[in-house]
């Protein structure tokens, strides 16, 4: 059983230069599904994935710089010709215009060996599931044309035979087919017809397309189409082009096949094409694979709006997806199939075009001329970044054009380093993970893969060599990206100076910002008198950073104050760090307000007010003294050493966890009094301004930590109270409090 579409031989067919015979292979690119949109379908199946170039929407692509010259060379007044026609057996031996395709169920179907005569080294020589009474290009509307393939009067012309296996979504495409009972073989590479002396099927070339994959031909190799492209994928088919009311899909979501004369085609190809035709080179010509697009202007849209419905559907496809130059032939001939005939499924879904009253009507497709078209440039372009500064491992967005149609082969380079992960969002956006790197680099996009053409005689056959694809975005206009934290600036001043003074060294920038690690490690004072930032900050060696009133210093990641370093904040000034603030080895944090993701203290003094949500951890054998009014959230954990609260408070509601061991006991010293002179944390009437208590007194180490919660009693302003795990209020020495305090602890748990 078969299903078929019919196609006419081109009436002004031009001979193509002989195709070189070289080893060939199919190249299948393994890709993920990158787009969520409809691709062209045939009986519910997509012909190639959505990210394949035939299915690429190019409506927003920029116009090529030489577009006007190319259109002028083609002939601005040349009309579009819909190169398909009627399919009606009642028309007898009338030509069957268009390229037909036969639909089969390949599973369990017998296959036929086809002898490949002209281009065996550039063919996929496999058996073909040819159905009985298969329809070939150049047949009649009521049956086969048995005069043979070729270009003599009455012959079938290119004599393409296309068989689509619906079960497996595989297209078998053959060029120059000779039937078993044809009198002659298709013209050989010397353009000579010889008598056919056997009863086998013959063809000049065979290509098998696995249409569930992103498959391309070996560079330099041909296919059943001169450019090395699939024919079936580019046909205008009536099952798509007829309106929904007529039983069609009402939309064509793919590019269409186009022929141009040899004097309009360069001896080159551009992705997705892979093969050349021999002719002279000129800037006003296009390579095989080039794409023309119907303009979206008021004048053109007026023509489209005046067309019958099927013509409108085809024209809109030309605006959205364009025309791909696929073969040598008459100028501006757009290839289609005259019918979609399904005799292998039930119910049948046969479709034919309304030729006389629509496609070929006086206001149909033929009102369009070459001057209504433009050549587009599909080279990727990067116009912006969601963030121009970030750390390696961050995810940012790239914005631009022409990111679609890459068949899964998109690479984003930061300088010369590729991103490890590229996520396709749409034709104008990619999300990428920033790779490792340093400094400031340009960001470019490569659409395609590095591949070599070892077949074509022209070393410049591939327009975008060494890339098989749309190429690489321009480096000259690449947006700049700066790695944060990859540059370290060290204060080199001899005395007091301002953060913005040119007294830093170690980098190419004048002073630190949120991309730069700032280091102050000598006994100098660096003043911050305005709003400034750094990626990280390290203060040591007696150095000091002083934030003035009404000024701020924001650090993206860690801040450390060690070895006698000082971070001071004046009243009204602010300091924040997006990660941990570390204090060690007699470090000092003085003055106003500080916000950090967490605090990690070992040794030093803090008079600033601490805020944030990540809590405070006291570790190491040193002593940390807090004398500010603190408001950070989270637990206060004393792992070892001594935490002194003197003249200040722990935050309301913090969970105080105290641990340690025999060799390094942990202690909390409450050394503050209320307005009446009572030690904070002790009930009224007790004496002693400084009470040092270890949290546990077990006889043998290790000592388990005890969790206690700081609450506040209105009668004792801002004093901290501890509760054990049972909820009973306790003194720092573990004794129970009065009943009033027990009740308060229960209320505030």
Question: pLDDT band at 691, cuts 50/70/90?
Answer: very low
Least confident of 205-214, 428-437, 658-667: 658-667
Across the range 412-416, mean pLDDT stands at: 97
Region of residue 154 (phi > 0: left; psi between -120 and 50: alpha; otherwise: beta):
left
Query: Cα separation of 592 and 192, whole Å?
Result: 95
Cα–Cα separations (whole angstroms), residue 22 to 223, 263, 481, 558:
13, 26, 45, 61
Two tokens, residue 471: 């190429």
- The pLDDT assigned to 660 comes to 65
Cα 655 to Cα 147: distance, rounded to the nearest angstrom: 96
Q: How would DSSP label each residue in 350-362?
A: -EE--IIIIITST
pLDDT, residue 653, reads: 77
The C-alpha atoms of residue 611 and residue 631 are separated, in whole angstroms, by: 5
Mean pLDDT in residue range 99-119: 95
**Cα–Cα separations (whole angstroms), residue 57 to 163, 303, 399, 428, 659:** 27, 21, 17, 11, 65
As a whole-number percent, the residues of the chain with pLDDT over 70 amount to 82
- Max mean pLDDT among 398-402, 484-488, 639-643, 715-719 falls in 398-402
Instruction: Over range 215-228, report the average pLDDT.
Output: 97
Are the CB atoms for 680 and 718 separated by under 8 Å?
A: yes
CB 482 within 8 A of CB 388: yes
| Nearest partner of 320 among 301, 340, 339, judged by Cα | 301
Please give the Cα distance from 291 to 145 (Å, whole number).
34
CB atoms within 10 A of CB 510: 12
Per-residue pLDDT at 646: 82
Q: Which helix (H) or strand (E) holds 546?
A: strand 544-547
| pLDDT given for residue 667 in this prediction | 81
Structure tokens of 551? 């000024």
Residue 661 CA to residue 700 CA, distance in Å, equals 9
Q: Which of the two residues, 401 and 457, has the higher pLDDT score?
A: 401
CA distance 155 to 142: 16
- Coil, strand or helix at 502: coil
Residue 657: the pLDDT is: 84
Q: Can you tell me the distance from the alpha carbon of 151 to that of 540, in angstroms, rounded to the nearest whole number?
A: 88
User: In this predicted model, which residue has the larger pLDDT, 708 or 571?
Assistant: 571
55 sits in which H/E element: none
**Upper half-sphere CA count for residue 48 (Cβ side, 13 Å):** 28
Q: Which residue has the higher pLDDT, 174 or 629?
A: 174
Average confidence (pLDDT) over 203-231: 97
Mean pLDDT for the stretch of residues 439-456: 96
Q: State yes or no: pLDDT of 98 exceeds 60.
A: yes
pLDDT category at 15 given cuts 50, 70, 90 is very low
pLDDT tier for residue 671 given thresholds of 50, 70 and 90: low
How far apart CA 260 and CA 14 sit, in angstroms, is 10
Q: Are 19 and 222 in contact (CB under 8 A)?
A: yes
Q: Measure Cα distances from 304 to 165, 270, 308, 659 in Å.
A: 35, 30, 8, 81
**How far, in whole angstroms, is CA 435 from its chain's centroid?**
15
Mean pLDDT across the stretch 409-435? Answer: 96
CATH code of 381-474, in short, is 2.60.40.10
CB 149 within 8 Å of CB 138: yes
In the prediction, which pLDDT does 28 show?
Answer: 35
Taking alpha carbons only, the member of 133, 145, 149, 134 closest to residue 184 is 149
Indicate whether 724 pLDDT > 50. Answer: no
In DSSP terms, which residues pair with 666 in a beta bridge? 641
Return the pLDDT at 663: 60
475 has pLDDT over 70: yes
Beta bridge partners of 679: 673
R_g of the chain computed on alpha carbons: 39
Specify the higher pLDDT residue, 654 or 276: 276
* CA distance linking residue 117 with residue 119, whole number of Å: 6
441 pLDDT above the threshold of 90: yes
Coil vs helix vs strand at 561: strand
Q: What is the pLDDT of residue 95?
A: 95
Could you tell me the residue ranges of all domains in the chain?
3-13+37-375, 381-474, 484-612, 615-749
Return the closest-CA partner of residue 331 out of 78, 83, 84, 66. 78
State the average pLDDT over residues 658-676.
Answer: 66
pLDDT digits (tens, 9 = 90+) for 19-45: 333 333 333 333 333 444 445 589 889
| Cα–Cα distance measured from residue 193 to residue 163, given in angstroms and rounded to the nearest whole number | 25
Contact partners, residue 192, CB within 8 Å, separation at least 6: none
Highest averaged pLDDT of the listed ranges 99-108, 501-510, 511-520 = 99-108
Q: What pLDDT, on a 0 to 100 scale, did the predictor assign at position 17?
A: 34
Q: Which residues contact 710 (CB under 8 A, 6 or more apart)?
A: 636, 650, 651, 652, 653, 654, 655, 656, 720, 721, 722
pLDDT-based confidence at 442, cuts 50/70/90? very high
Total-model pTM: 0.73
Task: Answer yes or no: are the C-beta atoms of 273 and 228 closer than 8 Å.
Answer: yes
Alpha-carbon gap, residue 408 to 418, rounded angstroms = 15
The predicted pLDDT at position 650 comes to 83
pLDDT at 46: 94
Residue carrying the six token digits 């039930």: 346
Q: What is the C-alpha to C-alpha distance for residues 68 and 645, in angstroms, rounded to an integer? A: 80
SS (H, E, C) 637-681: EECCEEEEEECCECCCCCEEEECECCCCEEEEEEECECCCCCECC
* Tens digit of each residue's pLDDT (9 = 90 or more) over 315-351: 999 999 999 999 999 999 999 999 998 767 655 668 9
326 within 8 A of 225, measured Cβ to Cβ: yes
For 356, residues 6+ apart whose C-beta sits below 8 A from its C-beta are none
* Percentage of the residues of the chain whose pLDDT score is greater than 90: 71
Identify the pLDDT of residue 2: 32
396/459 Cα distance (integer angstroms) = 38
Q: What is the mean pLDDT of the chain?
A: 85
Q: Which residue, chain included where needed, has tokens 């180490």?
A: 701
- Cβ pair 40, 235 in contact under 8 A: no
pLDDT digits 0-9 by tens, 618-663: 999 999 999 988 999 999 999 888 998 887 778 877 888 887 665 6
Least confidently predicted of 387-401, 471-485, 707-721: 707-721
Q: Which residues contact 382 (CB under 8 A, 6 or more apart)?
A: 398, 399, 400, 443, 444, 445, 473, 477, 478, 479
Give CA–CA dist 175/188, Å, rounded: 12
Flag the least confident range among 345-354, 364-373, 521-530, 714-723: 714-723
Is residue 733 within 8 Å of 693, Cβ to Cβ?
Answer: yes
Residues 6+ apart with CB under 8 A from 245: none
Task: Label residue 719 by pLDDT band (50, 70, 90).
Answer: very low
Q: How far is CA 327 from CA 459, 560, 612, in A?
A: 21, 68, 68
């Amino acid at each position: 059983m078969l299903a078929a579409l019919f196609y006419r031989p081109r009436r002004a067919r031009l001979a193509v230069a002989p195709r070189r015979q070289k080893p060939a292979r199919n190249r299948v690119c393994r890709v993920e599904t990158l787009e969520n949109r409809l691709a062209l379908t045939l009986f519910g199946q997509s012909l190639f994935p959505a990210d394949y170039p035939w299915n690429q929407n190019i409506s927003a692509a920029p116009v090529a710089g030489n577009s006007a010259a190319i259109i002028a060379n083609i002939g601005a007044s040349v009309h579009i010709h819909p190169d398909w026609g009627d399919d009606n057996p009642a028309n007898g031996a009338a030509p069957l215009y268009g390229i037909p395709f036969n639909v089969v169920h390949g599973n369990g179907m017998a296959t036929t060996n086809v002898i490949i005569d002209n281009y065996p080294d550039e063919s996929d020589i496999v058996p073909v599931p040819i159905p009985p009474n298969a329809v070939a290009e150049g047949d009649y509307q009521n049956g086969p044309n048995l005069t043979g393939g070729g270009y003599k009067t009455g012959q079938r012309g290119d004599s393409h035979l296309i068989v689509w296996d619906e079960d497996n979504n595989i297209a078998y495409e053959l060029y120059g087919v000779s039937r078993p009972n044809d009198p002659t073989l298709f013209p050989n590479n010397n353009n000579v017809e010889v008598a056919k002396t056997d009863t086998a099927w013959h063809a000049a070339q065979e290509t098998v397309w696995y249409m569930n994959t992103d498959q391309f031909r070996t560079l330099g190799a041909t296919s059943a189409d001169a450019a090395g492209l699939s024919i079936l994928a580019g046909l205008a088919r009536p099952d798509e082009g007829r309106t929904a009311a007529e039983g069609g899909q009402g939309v064509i979501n793919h590019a269409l096949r186009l022929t141009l004369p040899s004097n309009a085609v360069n001896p080159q190809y551009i992705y997705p094409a892979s093969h050349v035709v021999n002719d002279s080179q000129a800037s006003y010509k296009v390579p095989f694979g080039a794409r023309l697009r119907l303009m979206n202007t008021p004048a053109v849209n007026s023509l489209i709006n005046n067309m019958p419905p099927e013509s409108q559907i085809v024209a809109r496809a030309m605006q959205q997806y364009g025309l791909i130059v696929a073969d040598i032939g008459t100028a501006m001939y757009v290839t289609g199939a005259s019918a979609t005939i399904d005799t292998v499924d039930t119910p049948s879904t046969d479709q034919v075009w309304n030729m006389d009253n629509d496609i070929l009507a006086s206001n149909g497709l033929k009102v369009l001329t070459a001057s209504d078209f433009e050549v587009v440039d599909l080279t990727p372009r990067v116009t912006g970044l969601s963030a121009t500064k970030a750390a390696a491992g961050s995810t940012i967005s790239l914005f631009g054009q022409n990111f679609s149609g890459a068949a899964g082969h998109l690479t984003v380079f930061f300088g010369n380093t590729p991103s490890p992960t590229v996520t396709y969002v749409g034709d104008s956006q990619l999300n990428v993970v920033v790779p490792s790197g340093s400094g400031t680099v340009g960001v470019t996009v490569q659409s395609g893969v590095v591949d070599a053409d070892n077949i074509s005689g022209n070393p410049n056959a591939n327009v975008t060599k060494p890339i098989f694809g749309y190429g690489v975005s321009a480096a000259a206009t690449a947006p700049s990206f700066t790695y944060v934290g990859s540059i370290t600036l060290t204060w080199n001043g001899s005395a007091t100076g301002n953060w913005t003074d040119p007294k830093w060294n170690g980098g190419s920038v004048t002073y630190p910002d949120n991309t730069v690690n700032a280091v102050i490690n000598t006994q100098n004072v660096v003043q911050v008198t305005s709003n400034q930032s750094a990626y990280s900050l390290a203060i040591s060696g007696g150095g000091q950073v002083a934030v003035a009133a009404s000024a701020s210093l924001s650090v993206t990641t860690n801040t450390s104050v060690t070895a006698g370093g000082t971070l001071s904040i004046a009243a009204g000034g602010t300091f924040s760090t997006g990660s941990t603030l570390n204090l060690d080895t007699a470090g000092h944090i003085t003055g106003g307000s500080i916000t950090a993701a967490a605090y990690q203290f070992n040794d030093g003094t803090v008079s600033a007010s601490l805020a944030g949500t990540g809590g405070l951890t006291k570790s190491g054998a040193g002593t940390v003294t807090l004398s500010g009014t603190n408001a950070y959230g989270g637990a206060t954990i004393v792992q070892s050493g001594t935490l002194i609260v003197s003249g200040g408070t722990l935050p309301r509601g913090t969970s105080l966890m105290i641990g340690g061991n025999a060799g390094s006991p942990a202690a909390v010293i409450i050394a503050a009094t209320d307005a009446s002179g009572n030690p904070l944390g002790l009930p009224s009437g007790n004496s002693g301004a400084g009470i040092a208590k270890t949290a546990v007194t077990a006889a043998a180490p290790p000592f388990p930590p005890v969790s206690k919660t700081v609450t506040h009693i209105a009668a004792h302003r801002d004093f901290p109270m501890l509760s054990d795990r049972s909820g009973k209020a306790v003194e720092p020495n573990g004794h129970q409090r009065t009943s009033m305090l027990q009740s308060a602890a229960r209320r505030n748990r």
